[in-house]
Amino acid sequence: MASFQGMKINPKKFHISQLKFYMVIIPISIFMTLPIIYILNQAFKPLDEIFRFPPTFIVRRPTLQNFRMILSLTSNTGIPMSRFLINTIIITVLTVVLSIFVTAMSAYAFSKKKFGAKEWLFRLNQAALMFVPAAVSIPRYLIIVKLGLNNNFLVHILPLITMPVGLFLVKQFVDQVPDSLIESARIDGAGEFLVMFKIVFPLIKPALATVGILCFQIVWGATEASNLYLVDDTLKSFAFYLSSLATLNTPAMAGVQAAASLIMFLPNLIIFIAMQSRVMNTMSHSGIK
């Protein structure tokens, strides 16, 4: 016991005892970052380097020509790329905000409220986790047509607001919020909305951040609405335009496709890096014990 005195399980500064962990973690980290490095370098390669054999991992003569070609191809359609990009920014922001709000409210209701068919509805949500998007594409199309959302900008947003996996995740976090804490707030005169926004939601920020990241990843790369429901090109998304470049499967378009892949990948990477601390936090770090 004496040998363990003064030692910390997770010291804030480097300790020689951590060296064995770094010997394992550093090689694994380098290996996992190789695909990211490859995507970054591939987007800036000229055509002769892209088709070079044996292939090179690091770009030798970086160029912005691939990104310039994306701009020029967009201008040839008569619709500026900024239009597609603005559409996607509006779609992504609205969908992520609404999805977090709807998911948090629903999770609070399922966890802390009592109402008829509560268990049945939550089991229905769990059953929805089994279906991949392709399996429900036809029913979704029929519902959207019946609602009159065909060729409507809202068709980008409304089908993606609800996330069964997000509701399941957030409910497990809300379950850990002590009922006594909520009852104390109600005794002090707090209403339901005040309880949710001032007590519950701040304590489940890691779960809400995870829902936001998952929703962003889905919305940012979504092309279903642009492909199936929209006729007006000015309403379509940036992801749809970039995915349409993949249909131009010619050697001259290889660099453009690499640049498009980087554009679609980079925001997901930035969002995850910016919010990873919240995602990795546990409920104990959120003040719930």
The yes-or-no verdict on residue 288 having pLDDT over 50 is: no
Query: What mean pLDDT is reported for the chain?
Result: 82
Q: What mean pLDDT is predicted for residues 261-273?
A: 85
Structure tokens at 44: 């800036």
Residue 92 — very low, low, confident or very high, per pLDDT cuts 50/70/90? very high
Q: What is the pLDDT of residues 149-199, one digit of tens each?
A: 888 899 999 988 988 888 988 888 888 888 888 888 888 887 888 888 888
Residue 70 — very low, low, confident or very high, per pLDDT cuts 50/70/90? confident
The yes-or-no verdict on residue 285 having pLDDT over 50 is: no
Query: Helices (H), strands (E): how many in the chain?
Result: 14, 0
pLDDT at 126: 86
Distance CA 168, CA 122 (A): 8
Amino acid of residue 192: E
Share of the chain above pLDDT 70, in %: 88
pLDDT at 105: 92
pLDDT at 278: 65
Q: What is the pLDDT of residues 222-265, one digit of tens each?
A: 888 888 888 888 888 888 888 877 666 677 778 888 888 888 88
Residue 8 — very low, low, confident or very high, per pLDDT cuts 50/70/90? low
Phi-psi region of 117 (alpha: psi -120 to 50; beta: other; left: phi over 0): left
Q: What is the pLDDT of residues 122-139, one digit of tens each?
A: 888 888 888 887 788 888
pLDDT at 3: 43
Torsion of CA 51, 57, 61, 63, to 10 degrees: 80
Residue 76 — very low, low, confident or very high, per pLDDT cuts 50/70/90? low
pTM, to two decimals = 0.80
Structure tokens at 144: 């959207």
Instruction: Let me know: does 153 contact 235? Beta carbons within 8 Å.
Output: yes
Token pair 């190789």: residue:
34
Q: What is the pLDDT of residues 38-55, one digit of tens each?
A: 888 888 888 888 888 887
Closest-CA residue to 184 (of 174, 173, 193, 195):
195
In the chain, where are the structural domains located?
Answer: 67-280
pLDDT at 284: 44
| DSSP, res 287 | T
CATH fold for domain 67-280? MetI-like fold (1.10.3720)
Q: What is the pLDDT of residues 206-222, one digit of tens each?
A: 888 888 888 998 899 88
Token pair 């349409």: residue:
244
HEC per residue, 125-171: HHHHCCCCHHHHHHHHHHHHHHCCCCCCHHHHCHHHCCCHHHHHHHH
